[in-house]
Structure 1
Amino acid sequence: MNEVLLHRIATTFDHYDVNGNGVIELADLYALANRLLRAFGEPASSERGRELIETSDRFWETLVEHCDADRDGRITLDEYRAAMLATFVDVDEFDDMFLEVSESLLALADTNGDGRVEAAEFQVLLQARGLSEAECRTAFEHVDTDGDGSISLQEYVDAVYDYYTNPTEDTPGSWLYPRSMQAA
């Protein structure tokens, strides 16, 4: 297995393990959703807020189904790594849940409701992941592959898939998390 991809999997595990206790739990996904809602100034009770929370619930169910090998309600790095390798690398399958999460994130990021996620909106999303302002600009430039000044759902989904499957640097997906976290 490529070391870059293994490190990227560990990076996303660390992102989901919000409380840093070494396992992903439902509370971590709620904390991540709340971080995003605060970043966008969106109440959890709004339609977009409820959708993000509901998507977090479904994402958790999917993670448990695919990752929680010992069925203890906690996902370790080893369990997460094995599931991500099986899903993306070994069988090249992009789970529908990742599409639903991507849709929910971009709906939240589209703060002006124009159906486009522009640079400033994308920046808020990525800063919630820990990217600097400069990293956000660079990520936007890479993910906006058609150069139209906005991120489409397809561009974002392609970048997420790319992050998990393509170890090449400077691809759209390689910019979705802080570079400092990705350095092997």
Structure 2
Amino acid sequence: MREEAINRVKLVFTLFDADGNGVLESDDFELMSSRVAAAVPGADESRKQAMRAGFTRYWNTLVSELDTDHDGRITYDEYQACVLSPERFSGAIDAFASGFAHFGDVDGSGMVSRPVFVGMLRGVGFDLPNIHALFEAFEPDAEDRLRVDLWETEIRNFYAPDMGGIPADLLAPAAAA
């Protein structure tokens, strides 16, 4: 497993722990999807539902795969074991990546504008400089937009344990030595 993948997973766990109590719970995913929905007021209801469904499937996969004591809570160790195992989590990641990326295509053009991209990722909790660095790595077009399909693929790459040196690493830079 690549160090970059571990860095990405650590960051995402921290962000998804929306209430900061050290474990993931269904309320964290509801709060996160609400923050993202609020960050893109121009998105239509069907896109909001698809994005929320991606968050819900993500949570449902975690809890069904990992919550052996049925307490509705997932620790970091449990989380890492699942999300970095494609055979256990790829379906949830596919649904999440599709719903999240397409949520940003508010006009149905197949493109996501920088303000929408920034709003969505700020809604998740990523740092602004990292968001802009990622957006630039996608080489936006003259209208400052990126292709949804590229972003969707990169979301999948973000969770791939064997991927490193990818644009998504910009969201979770390695700690200074």
Do the structures match in fold with TM over 0.5?
Answer: yes
What is the TM-score with the length of structure 2 in the denominator?
0.79
Give 3-state SS (helix, strand or coil) of 1:128's partner. Answer: helix
Instruction: Letter of the 1:50 partner, please give it.
Output: Q
State the distance in 1 between where 2:109 and 2:152 align: 19
**Match of 1:32?**
32
Give 3-state SS (helix, strand or coil) of 1:137's partner. Answer: helix
Runs of 4+ in 1 over 6 A off after TM superposition: none
Q: How many residues align?
A: 172
Instruction: Letter of the 1:86 partner, please give it.
Output: S
Alignment RMSD (CA, Å): 2.7
Asked if 2 retains the 8 angstrom alpha-carbon contact of 1:109 and 1:124, the reply is: no
1:36-115 to 2 correspondence within 5 Å? Answer: 36-41=36-41, 46-87=45-86, 95-115=90-110
Q: Tell me: higher relative CO, structure 1 or 2? Use CA pairs within 8 A at least 6 residues apart.
A: 2
Instruction: Letter of the 1:172 partner, please give it.
Output: P
**2:154 aligned with 1:156:** no
Asked if 1 retains the 8 angstrom alpha-carbon contact of 2:18 and 2:31, the reply is: yes
Stretches of structure 2 that go unaligned for 5 or more consecutive residues are none
State the distance in 2 between where 1:39 and 1:129 align: 9
State the distance in 2 between where 1:12 and 1:130 align: 9
Asked if 1 retains the 8 angstrom alpha-carbon contact of 2:42 and 2:106, the reply is: no
**Match of 2:13?**
13
Q: Share of identical aligned residues, percent?
A: 27
State the distance in 2 between where 1:162 and 1:50 align: 23
What is the TM-score with the length of structure 1 in the denominator?
0.77
Instruction: Letter of the 2:75 partner, please give it.
Output: T
